[in-house]
């Protein structure tokens, strides 16, 4: 019953949102080229499914590669910040400045430097992803229980061994939170990069469908992107729960 209730809740929310969407269409009497109804979008989604799947595959590839690259850079940066204290006063301002500049403003430069292919979209996604991973992991490394550190040192655990066996395992819950945030925002970088300059992807498809007044197709692409984003987040969350089973019982509020 618990499993069925967990499936029924998102299904109920989805049905409610679709019903609200249809009610807005009826009340406003908006023409299809402004706000198409759910049925029209569903028809477009079915009829144009080969095109949607083709572009979705490209966007998913960009998101996954960006997630891997951004997570790797974030983990490395957090490790450097924690391990090499003299580097902190120099590296922390760089991290702050990297977030003060809107990442979207860098998209045209990335397209100019890396071209219209997949590379610029992957780097764009990685730029958005690495900061939450860096801050979460670094904060986790800093907030290890001092008693654990003292106990490990008493047992002769020092240096890299202490970092590997005590600090990293203790920081995993914070890292998991950062990875969840990174997974949620990963599609933003890929889609924005496709909007600025690309020849494929769901962002590219939405942009061109909008320019051709194919609003039903644009909504179908947006719906596909939403499904992919939720599926990716669910998969990452499930993997993190499986990797850290001791945390599985700590978040029962949503069940």
Q: Residues 105-152: pLDDT tens digits?
A: 888 888 888 888 899 999 999 999 999 999 999 999 998 888 888 788
Average pLDDT over residues 216-221: 94
**Among 128, 143, 136, which residue's Cα sits nearest to residue 69?**
128
**Residue 80 contacts residue 87 (beta carbons within 8 Å):** yes
CA neighbor of 128 nearest in space, from 92, 99, 96, 100 = 99
pTM tops 0.85: yes
User: Residue 32 has what DSSP assignment?
Assistant: T
pLDDT (0 to 100) of residue 4: 61
Distance, in Å, from the CA atom of 134 to the CA atom of 178, rounded to the nearest integer, reads 8
Which pLDDT score is estimated for 111?
86
DSSP 250: G
Q: Which of 59-73, 89-103, 110-124, 187-201 reaches the highest mean pLDDT?
A: 59-73
| DSSP states of 96-129 | HHHHHS-HHHHHHHHHHHH-SSHHHHHHHHHHHH
What is the number of other CB atoms lying within 10 angstroms of the CB of residue 183?
Answer: 22
- Residue 248: which pLDDT band, with cuts at 50, 70 and 90? low
Rg (CA), the chain: 22
In the DSSP assignment, the letter for residue 167 is I
Query: pLDDT by residue (tens digit) across 168-201?
Result: 989 999 999 999 999 999 998 889 889 888 888 9
């Amino acid at each position: 019953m618990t499993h069925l209730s967990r499936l029924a809740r998102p299904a109920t929310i989805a049905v409610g949102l679709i019903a609200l969407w249809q009610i807005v269409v009826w009340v406003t009497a908006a023409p299809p080229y402004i706000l198409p109804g759910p049925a029209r979008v569903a028809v477009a989604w079915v009829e144009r499914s080969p095109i949607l799947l083709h572009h979705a595959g490209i966007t998913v590839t960009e998101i996954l590669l960006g997630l891997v690259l951004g997570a790797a850079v974030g983990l490395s940066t957090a490790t450097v910040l924690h391990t090499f204290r003299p580097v902190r006063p120099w590296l922390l301002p760089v991290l702050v400045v990297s977030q003060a500049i809107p990442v979207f403003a860098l998209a045209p430069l990335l397209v100019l430097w890396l071209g219209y292919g997949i590379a610029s979209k992957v780097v764009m996604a990685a730029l958005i992803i690495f900061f939450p991973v860096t801050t979460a992991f670094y904060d986790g490394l800093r907030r290890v229980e001092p008693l654990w550190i003292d106990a490990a040192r008493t047992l002769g655990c020092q240096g890299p061994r202490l970092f590997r066996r005590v600090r990293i395992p203790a920081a995993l819950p914070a890292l998991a939170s950062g990875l969840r945030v990174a997974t949620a925002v990963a599609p933003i970088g890929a889609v924005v990069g496709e909007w600025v300059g690309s020849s494929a992807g769901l962002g590219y498809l939405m942009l061109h469908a909008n320019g051709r007044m194919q609003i039903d197709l644009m909504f179908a692409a947006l719906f596909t992107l939403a499904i992919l984003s939720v599926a990716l987040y669910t998969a990452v969350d499930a993997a993190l729960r499986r990797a850290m089973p001791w945390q599985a019982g700590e978040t029962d509020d949503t069940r």
